[in-house]
Chains A and B, each alone.
Chain A
Amino acid sequence: DTGVSQDPRHKITKRGQNVTFRCDPISEHNRLYWYRQTLGQGPEFLTYFQNEAQLEKSRLLSDRFSAERPKGSFSTLEIQRTEQGDSAMYLCASSFPSGRLHEQYFGPGTRLTVT
């Protein structure tokens, strides 16, 4: 068990550019989550996959954001036409439905800076 990994760890981009982040969950986990965290705040839920199906998207996820999880394994989060307000830490987490409570395991995050 190598834990949840995210790539890249840091990304600096210019406003208007597109960026894509990758998350590799723990291998036996079928649930995958994306959260966003800005400075001084707790993480905010963005979206959730069960296997390859995206089951919910937060209202925080504008049309410029898209997430995929092909084949129910790794996931990507793409932001098109980045804005300065997109600067944040993007966290991925995974879990499997053991028992009832779905403890989530988080990756180290991708820190995005939009200049």
Chain B
Amino acid sequence: DAKTTQPNSMESNEEEPVHLPCNHSTISGTDYIHWYRQLPSQGPEYVIHGLTSNVNNRMASLAIAEDRKSSTLILHRATLRDAAVYYCILRALNSGGSNYKLTFGKGTLLTVNP
């Protein structure tokens, strides 16, 4: 699996935007970029995914660099409930069905200050 690199930790203030970076310089053309987050004492939860174009959903936005070698998860207004570990994961799209598993790194621990 192609590897991702994320900062170990980041800090933000409540109600301010947060930009969480992810580098994936070895990404292949069929790799989708997924973000999951894990709140304290919970299992991971899906946040957003994208391939080439920027994506928005109710939780966050995903900005993908033109060369796809990096991406940024954007939380537009951080709340205390957004404090979590955020994982950037690459998943290959193929017809063989082997894109089933998620390969997690250590992720970025986001702290949100009141």
CA distance A33 to B108 in the complex (A): 23
CA distance A43 to B42 in the complex (A): 12
Cβ-neighbour of B102 out of A56, A100, A104 (below 8 A): A104
B93 pairs with A106, CB closer than 8 A: no
Q: How far is the CB of B28 from chain A (nearest CB, A)?
A: 16
Q: Which residues of B contact A95 (CB under 8 A)?
A: 100
Q: Given A100-B93, A107-B43, is A45 in contact with B106 using a C-beta cutoff of 8 Å?
A: no
Interface size of B by CB at 8 A reads: 23
Interface size of A by CB at 8 A reads: 27
A40 within 8 Å of B (CB atoms): yes
B102 pairs with A45, CB closer than 8 A: yes
Main secondary structure of the interface of B (DSSP, over half): loop
B7 within 8 Å of A (CB atoms): no
A106 pairs with B43, CB closer than 8 A: yes
Interface residues of A in 43-71 (CB under 8 A from B): 43-45, 48, 50, 55-56
Stretch binding the partner chain, chosen from B16-24, B44-52, B68-76 = B44-52
Q: How far is the CB of B78 from chain A (nearest CB, A)?
A: 22
Q: Which residues of A contact B45 (CB under 8 A)?
A: 105-106
Q: Which residues of A contact B44 (CB under 8 A)?
A: 43, 91, 93, 104, 106
A44 pairs with B106, CB closer than 8 A: no
Per-residue contact bits, chain B 31-73, to A (CB 8 Å; 1 contact, 0 not): 0101000000111111001000000000000000000000000
CA distance A48 to B87 in the complex (A): 20
B104 pairs with A103, CB closer than 8 A: no
Interface residues of B in 67-94 (CB under 8 A from A): 85, 87, 91, 93
Per-residue contact bits, chain A 75-109, to B (CB 8 Å; 1 contact, 0 not): 00000000000000001010100001111111111
A44 pairs with B104, CB closer than 8 A: yes
CA distance A35 to B100 in the complex (A): 12
A sample of 18 inter-chain contacts (CB < 8 A) reads A33-B100, A33-B101, A41-B104, A42-B85, A42-B104, A42-B105, A43-B44, A43-B102, A44-B104, A48-B101, A56-B101, A91-B43, A91-B44, A101-B93, A102-B100, A106-B45, A108-B42, A109-B42
